[in-house]
Structure 1
């Protein structure tokens, strides 16, 4: 039998993903720097006066500097793939090797010392003061190591010996200022985004509250009228539409006998039954008091009738502790859209069906067909 490991693999966070992406970009950039330096050195040797022999040039200017730089980049790339938590340190070490190799080869060009700032300012991308200081420490280490070369050391003046470390410290300070400013900007942006999200959520809540009834969580009368107007226009273009009005029987006596708090509980229970039985495309609203309105789409009249009957029967079968175990009933009026009816006339006829249900015994669903038979 095969055994399966229960250990879940680590899923990189968005920050870690961006961190890795920048590491890879910088390592690719160092490849460009090394190749550019290699090409420039060949061009200088071929077209400018060069005080080195071809053999010395090939070994000490091209081969060893390029080989050490390439090796450092390859090692950093390998560490990035295998040990991502050490990626930054590997990248910084590679950049130190590349920078100080170029400086060592071209120490007679004074401006070349500025390359040592490249790794320091690269560390700014990670918005970490600690990483800026690590980059500074590595560049200082690189400087100390090249001092062991007597040729390079003899070229430096006493001023150079002091100014280069000072140059690195000042560059690090500037990088620190950039990091601090960047972090502040990011914090401000984050606060702004959070405030915006809060505002969106608050507006969404307010919009929902303005459209729904606070007690039943169904749409309120105002929202229903808006949906009814739109549904009527859609029905005129061929979409099926059925309108039902549902009214709790003898609701006034419930309020008078048991109080308005119990009445509110009954309203909540009835609205819950309605919500649980309508389809996702239907619209239910508390139209007023104990009356509910229901718009049904994408179904036949028989299906709409079966749906409201299901709601009515489920309500009739419920017992209520608030009413000492007694049930309640609802009456329903139902009618389908007809092109001959205005939206006002359609509503009036559904209301007439509801009135007929009340008048002829309650706890029933009356449709326009029933009215014609009467």
Structure 2
């Protein structure tokens, strides 16, 4: 398995943000080092003259470190794939400069550990090993060519600093491996949770919809119906329609139940195609459908249901010798104070009357009175 499989888009964006944060931190370190050196020269006894201090300790190192960070920022903008390499090269150079200028501070050599530990943030073993190799090279360069470093370095330091670098690399590696394992466990948990959510959604859909037509089932309809009554009692009117396929038994007897199922599915699809997102359609039972219409006037509800009836009568089925099926519809609006049972019985009576007075019609209390 490769050490680094390549970041996702989100991970890459997060790592790019951390690169920029490190670069801002480098600027802060340079500024703090500048102020600390200047404060030490002004407030404490200093073993060199002003000209030597301002040039060798303050100006030249600060400009060099700033140039390194500035170059890294330019590369981060122009060629971000090299940002990681230059980021830790820059960090190593800054650490070397600070160590060189402050070798009289015994603990200053510990700065070499910081780039190694910082590299662990990116959870890349290859990057940590690269950074560790940079610190080893920096230690060798300082020991080989920096006489001040050699002067203050004891025999114990000569053994301890490389050992600290090795231990720091091992600790960073453990952090990375452990972090990867935690990330993997978290990903597995999230995946399992997503799978469970999908499974629950599928089960929920299966439990609330009719498998043949894709409409809501009988139980779901009553849940929506009760909720609609609550809204109706609060001043939000709605309309209830019951739709029944005419002569459905004859279709089953003549063409078979498979054709009957096909007709049911097509009728349901036409109903769905004509309803708005706010409306609710359910297969109430057998060849009967129940529809709740919202956000419409009674005239708009009547026009819609009668248009659906007309469309169904104009839909020809090749399997039925190009014959069409018709439906009878009962439609009534909710009135304040009407109970669930009363409204449903009234609409059911309208449907019954429509089926026994010629079929293929949409009957409402108004059209029923006109017919009488």
Matching of residue 307 in structure 1 with residue 315 in structure 2 = no
Report the counterpart of residue 265 of structure 2 in structure 1.
268
Q: TM-score, normalised by structure 2?
A: 0.92
Deviations 1:320-372 (A, max 9, x none): 13323222111111112223532211111111111111111211111112332
Deviations 1:18-69 (A, max 9, x none): 1121111111111222222222222333333433333332232222222221
Contact 1:244–1:332 under 8 Å retained in 2:
yes
The equivalences for 1:9-88 within 5 A come to 13-88=9-84
After alignment, is 246-255 or 158-167 more displaced? 158-167
Contact 1:19–1:126 under 8 Å retained in 2:
yes
Residue of 220, 223, 227 corresponding to 1:223: 220
Report the counterpart of residue 365 of structure 1 in structure 2.
362
Report the counterpart of residue 314 of structure 2 in structure 1.
317
Matching of residue 342 in structure 1 with residue 345 in structure 2 = no
Contact 1:353–1:367 under 8 Å retained in 2:
yes
Structure 2 CA distance for aligned equivalents of residues 79 and 172 of structure 1: 27
Deviation at 1:156, TM superposition (A): 2.5
Deviation at 1:99, TM superposition (A): 0.5
Structure 1 CA distance for aligned equivalents of residues 34 and 310 of structure 2: 88
Matching of residue 148 in structure 1 with residue 134 in structure 2 = no
Q: TM-score, normalised by structure 1?
A: 0.92
Contact 2:103–2:148 under 8 Å retained in 1:
no
Unaligned stretches of 5+ residues in structure 1: 1-11
3-state DSSP of counterpart to 2:243: strand
Q: Which runs of 4+ in 1 moved over 6 A?
A: none
Matching of residue 205 in structure 1 with residue 202 in structure 2 = yes
Contact 2:278–2:293 under 8 Å retained in 1:
yes
How many residues get paired? Answer: 363
Deviation at 1:159, TM superposition (A): 4.1
Structure 2 CA distance for aligned equivalents of residues 330 and 151 of structure 1: 100
Report the counterpart of residue 252 of structure 1 in structure 2.
249
Report the counterpart of residue 123 of structure 1 in structure 2.
119
Contact 1:242–1:336 under 8 Å retained in 2:
yes
After alignment, is 250-259 or 107-116 more displaced? 250-259
3-state DSSP of counterpart to 1:331: strand
Contact 1:246–1:291 under 8 Å retained in 2:
yes
Contact 2:330–2:351 under 8 Å retained in 1:
yes
RMSD over equivalenced CA pairs, Å: 1.8
Matching of residue 165 in structure 1 with residue 162 in structure 2 = yes
After alignment, is 139-148 or 79-88 more displaced? 139-148
Contact 1:353–1:368 under 8 Å retained in 2:
yes
Deviation at 1:128, TM superposition (A): 0.3
Contact 1:248–1:328 under 8 Å retained in 2:
yes
Report the counterpart of residue 295 of structure 1 in structure 2.
292
3-state DSSP of counterpart to 2:316: coil
Deviations 1:246-283 (A, max 9, x none): 00111122222332222111110000000001122111
Residues 1:343 and 1:36: Cα distance change in structure 2 (over 3 Å) = same
Residue of 105, 108, 116 corresponding to 2:104: 108
Contact 1:68–1:97 under 8 Å retained in 2:
no
3-state DSSP of counterpart to 2:221: helix
3-state DSSP of counterpart to 2:284: strand
Structure 2 CA distance for aligned equivalents of residues 236 and 63 of structure 1: 81
Structure 2 CA distance for aligned equivalents of residues 277 and 66 of structure 1: 74
Contact 2:233–2:337 under 8 Å retained in 1:
no
Matching of residue 281 in structure 1 with residue 278 in structure 2 = yes
After alignment, is 48-57 or 295-304 more displaced? 48-57
Matching of residue 189 in structure 1 with residue 196 in structure 2 = no
3-state DSSP of counterpart to 1:243: strand
Report the counterpart of residue 97 of structure 1 in structure 2.
93
Contact 1:255–1:262 under 8 Å retained in 2:
yes
Structure 1 CA distance for aligned equivalents of residues 72 and 140 of structure 2: 22
Structure 2 CA distance for aligned equivalents of residues 89 and 179 of structure 1: 18
Structure 1 CA distance for aligned equivalents of residues 28 and 234 of structure 2: 65
